[in-house]
Amino acid sequence: MSYRLMKFFTVLIPTLLIGGFEFFRHSVIHHHLSMETGNYLITILTLIISYAFASWMFKTIELKNQKLTNEREMRAIYEERERLAKELHDSIAQTLFLLKVYLKKGKSKEAASLVNSIDTQLRQAIFNLRMNPAEHVNFSNRLQNWLEDWMTVSGIDIDSDIQLKDRYFTAAEEVQIFGVIQEALINIRKHSAATTVTFKFHTCNNEWELNIEDNGRGFNLDEIGSNHYGLAMLKERSEKLNCSLVIDTQLNRGTKISLRGNKEYDKSI
């Protein structure tokens, strides 16, 4: 139902029912019904009509708002998939070009490394795309499965501690958080030379915290700068989540990425 039609009914229905009763009372039953009794009846009738109509109206508005929220979340998910698809296309195209160069030069070791890189990217892309956004998949299980898959591919051990309330995050928020986790762990695999990663993700009422720490070689944050693609991506996603982002790293001392956020959470879920 359109908002214009709802507005029309808001004006028309109470007017017809209450006005109709008053007309009927004064023209038909005024000899059989005292003024005092009629006033009581019109008061009760007004209360019943107002309650029933308001309940219906607010329920309709609630359903419309929920539909709009779901559509926004779905759009965010599909936009993220399109972005991932573009990144995957560009990355694999570059890798295949380098693979051809290495094969022509007889650099088999470097070529094998590139093949492994393509295999990893495809595995991660397949994992992302095989999830149906319309299904209510447990976010904790999805993260745990992805971490185990990443650990198998990268050969880096992960000590994970995931304690999330069910349906704590919206689908759009899950997309952004999952993007942060993927970006952080992909950078660890590519650049850190780490052997272990500590992954901690907890929710508690209206607060949540995500920590990803590795024992790799770290880096000089001042030299790289915040405009580096990976760091810029983490910053962009943290802003969309309206949470704080802290990157603690030093050369030869590993890197720790921490996100902390606040959100309203319905405890009745």
Q: Is residue 122 pLDDT above 90, yes or no?
A: no
Q: Indicate the pairing of strand 255-262 with strand 196-204.
A: unpaired
Q: Decide which of 66 and 32 is more confident.
A: 66
| Packing angle of the helix pair 35-105, 108-129 (nearest 10 deg) | 170
Q: Decide which of 269 and 204 is more confident.
A: 204
Average pLDDT, the chain: 80
Predicted pLDDT of residue 259: 96
Is the full-model pTM beyond 0.75?
no
Distance CA(254)–CA(249), nearest Å, equals: 6
DSSP state of 245: E
Per-residue tokens: 236: 């962009």
Q: Which residues pair with 64 in a beta bridge?
A: none
Predicted pLDDT of residue 131: 57
Q: Mention every residue, 6+ apart, whose C-beta is less than 8 A from residue 117.
A: 95
First-to-last C-alpha distance (Å) of the chain: 28
Distance CA(91)–CA(183), nearest Å, equals: 14
Q: Which residues pair with 162 in a beta bridge?
A: 201
Model confidence at 246, pLDDT cuts 50, 70, 90, reads: very high
Predicted pLDDT of residue 13: 75
Q: Is residue 33 pLDDT above 80, yes or no?
A: no
DSSP state of 201: E
Model confidence at 97, pLDDT cuts 50, 70, 90, reads: confident
Cα dist from 111 to 104, 115, 156, whole Å: 10, 6, 22
Q: Is residue 132 pLDDT above 70, yes or no?
A: no
Whether the CB-CB separation of 212 and 171 falls below 8 Å is answered with: no
Single out the residue of 182, 170, 78, 89 nearest to residue 132, CA to CA: 78
Average pLDDT over residues 31-47: 75
